[in-house]
Amino acid sequence: MLRPRPSARANRHRGEIEAVIDGERRILCLTLGALAELEAAFAVDDLTGLATRFSAGRLKASDMVRIIGAGLRGGGNLFSDEDVAASGIEGGIAAYAALVRDLLSATFLGEGADAAPDPR
């Protein structure tokens, strides 16, 4: 797996976020290529269809694996979806859900996504 440089930090202007996965800080970003990957995986015609699907708030675990995997690859990490499924994150499923929420917010809402409300 490609490891980010220790000095690399997420740039919210580019839609990047950070997460600690398997004990290592990673940068995730849904680049244009990552979004195209997700359009194909979710069989939607365009970004609007993708945003509509995500805004419904009902994601399966396999959906979260695909989103996190695409975000990791977009951030320069060599993670397959199988790697993501086998990885660990402190906080368990709730932390994975928050990671997906933060990544989608950074992508579709932009820089102001830091203030995204927590649905709990």
> What are the Cα distances from residue 52, in Å, to 18, 29, 49, 76, 90?
24, 19, 5, 26, 29
Look at residue 11 and tell me if it is in a domain: no
Quote the domain boundaries for residue 97.
33-111
> In angstroms, rounded to a whole number, what is the distance separating the alpha carbons of residues 110 and 120?
22
Look at residue 55 and tell me if it is in a domain: yes
H or E element at residue 61: helix 61-74
Q: Residue 51 gets which letter from DSSP? A: H
pTM of the complete model: 0.83
User: Structural domain tally of the chain?
Assistant: 1
Look at residue 119 and tell me if it is in a domain: no
Q: In terms of Cα–Cα distance, which of 66, 64, 11 is closest to 35?
A: 66
Look at residue 44 and tell me if it is in a domain: yes
Look at residue 9 and tell me if it is in a domain: no
Question: For 26-55, how does the pLDDT look when each residue is reduced to its tens digit (9 = 90+)?
Answer: 999 999 999 999 999 999 999 999 988 888
Stretch 4-19: mean pLDDT: 75
Return the ∠ at Cα 35 (arms to 79 and 107), rounded to 5°. Answer: 95
Question: For 65-105, how does the pLDDT look when each residue is reduced to its tens digit (9 = 90+)?
Answer: 999 999 999 999 999 999 999 999 999 999 999 999 999 99
